[in-house]
Structure formats: C-alpha cells, structure tokens
C-alpha cells in the first residue's frame, strides 16, 4: 500500500530541526503518514523560481506540501509549479504576500520591510534578534521561544538569509491560492506580529471550495513551535477530513 508523504518547510533563515516536534506529533497522530522536515538548498539566488525549481527536483513528488511562514509561501509556489501532482497544501502563519501591495494592505508595510532588510545588511545579529523577538511575541513563553529561534537563526549564512528576504519581497501568491484545485488549509495566530489577522479574512475570500482558513487563539507567529500539539491536531483533522485516509493507510489516527 502506498504511503503518503507530507513535507514541512521551515521559516525564513531557519533549518528543519525546529519543526521536528511538530513532525513527531503528526507521526503519532497519523501513523501511516511519512512526515519529512526539509531543509532549504544552499542558494543565494534572489529569484523565487530558482528556489522552487530546486525544491521540485530535490523533494518527493506526489506529496502533501506544508510550511511555516516563508516555508508556507514556498510550499504554495511549489504546489503551483507541480500542478495536480500535489496531494494538498497546508500553510502555517503565511501570507499571500508578506509585503503590502496595492490591493493587499493585509501585510507588513513596505517601509518597515525595507528598513528591516537594510538593518540586516548593516547588522545581521541585531536583525536576527529583532526577528526572533517579533516571532516569539504573542505566545505564553516568548523569552524561551525567542532564544531558541535566535540560536537557530545565527547558524544561517548571511547571503542565504538575504536571499530569503528577497523571496519574501518578491513572492506574490494572491491569485495562486484561488487557482489551486487541491485541498488547502491555512492556519493563523491571532497575536501574530508579522502576518496580521486580517490576512486570514483576505485569503479566505480567494480560496476555492477545497480551501479553508482557521485561527489559533493566544499564539504569535511561532505557534507551530510553541503549540505543536494543537497545530498538529488541526493539521491531522484536515488531512483526515480531506478523504485521503479513507483507504486505511492512516488507520489509528487521532482527531
């Protein structure tokens, strides 16, 4: 019997290890599902299509695609690239456009983003600390979570982090979400300081019938790390309700 695979992509300038607790919980809830925490290729290209092409080549085909923050945006772009060779899409704290654009104010202001990118070029250490703080805020243990994030961020080469910022600036997936004819789940945190709650409502309006959004309460941007159990529960319920488990390969799943 074929085993389904779910791929998890991490956030900006982060490796896959931070998502392993979420992956482990998913494996417990869906014993027949193979969950892969994928790292990013060592690319410095500022062109999103270059990243998507490499991800398409290196990651398993015919899989569920999921990701946190930038990872969710790249998962969406990869789903568009692969077309119907994708089982479904799950994003965690991701926006259709990370930076505000005409007709899409539900995002980070352009001036704020440009200032952050300039600050990163001048002092990566200070920018990493600021990003870790913003990501961790809104949850129950912001200090511990911020420290964990900062340690992971500091291991990322400067040129790769800059390339990731370029992706956040360039990726515009507003129309893509409505074009995908696959099951979609988009999870958001109500206290997220990087992806405003209003983005959830704006995205919900663009989704086809197979897509939906959900809001987690009392969490910030890093909810997949801080609340891995609740995040996994929402993901597992969505995966089961999608009908993919009807053949029995996910028997024993807890929803």
pLDDT of residue 197: 87
Residue 204: pLDDT band (50, 70, 90) is very high
Q: Was domain 5-241 assigned CATH 3.30.365.10?
A: no
**Does position 242 have pLDDT exceeding 90, yes or no?**
no
Domain borders along the chain are 5-241
| Contact yes or no for 12/69 (Cβ under 8 A) | yes
Residue 1: pLDDT band (50, 70, 90) is very low
pLDDT, tens digit (0-9, with 9 covering 90-100), for 150-202 = 999 999 999 999 999 999 999 999 999 999 999 999 999 999 999 998 999 99
Which of 48 and 2 is assigned the larger pLDDT?
48
pLDDT of residue 91: 98
pLDDT of residue 141: 87
Average pLDDT of the chain is: 93
Question: Which tokens in the block code for residue 104?
Answer: 């899409």
Residue 253: pLDDT band (50, 70, 90) is very low
| Contact yes or no for 34/3 (Cβ under 8 A) | yes
**Does position 245 have pLDDT exceeding 80, yes or no?**
no
% of the chain beyond a pLDDT of 90: 88
Catalytic residues: 69, 192, 221
pLDDT, tens digit (0-9, with 9 covering 90-100), for 26-49 = 999 999 999 999 999 889 999 999
pLDDT, tens digit (0-9, with 9 covering 90-100), for 67-95 = 999 999 999 999 999 988 899 999 999 99
DSSP string of 171-226, one letter each residue: ---HHHHHH--S-EEEEEETT-SSS-THHHHHHHHH--TTEEEEEETT--TTHHHH
**Does position 255 have pLDDT exceeding 60, yes or no?**
no
pLDDT of residue 3: 73
Mean pLDDT over 127-150 rounds to 95
């Amino acid at each position: 019997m074929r085993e389904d695979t779910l791929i998890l992509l991490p956030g900006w300038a982060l490796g896959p290890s931070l998502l392993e607790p979420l992956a482990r919980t998913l494996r417990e809830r869906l014993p027949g599902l193979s969950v892969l925490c994928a790292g990013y290729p060592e690319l410095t290209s500022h062109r999103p299509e270059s990243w998507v092409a490499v991800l398409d080549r290196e990651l398993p085909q015919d899989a569920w695609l999921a990701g946190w923050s930038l990872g969710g945006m790249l998962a969406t772009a990869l789903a568009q690239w692969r077309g119907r060779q994708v089982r479904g899409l799950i994003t965690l704290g991701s926006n259709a456009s990370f930076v505000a654009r005409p007709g899409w104010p539900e995002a980070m202001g352009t001036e704020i983003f440009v200032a952050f990118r300039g600050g990163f070029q001048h002092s990566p250490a200070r920018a990493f600390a600021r990003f870790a703080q913003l990501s961790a805020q809104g949850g129950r243990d912001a200090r511990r979570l911020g420290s964990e994030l900062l340690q992971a961020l500091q291991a990322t080469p400067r040129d790769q982090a800059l390339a990731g910022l370029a992706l956040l600036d360039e990726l515009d997936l507003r129309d893509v979400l409505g074009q995908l004819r696959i099951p979609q789940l988009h999870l958001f945190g109500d206290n997220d300081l990087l992806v405003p709650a209003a983005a959830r409502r704006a995205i919900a309006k663009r989704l086809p019938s197979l897509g939906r959004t959900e809001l987690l309460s009392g969490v910030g941007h890093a909810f997949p790390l801080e609340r891995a159990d609740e995040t996994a529960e929402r993901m597992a319920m969505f995966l089961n309700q999608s009908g993919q488990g009807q053949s029995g390969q996910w028997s024993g799943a807890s929803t």
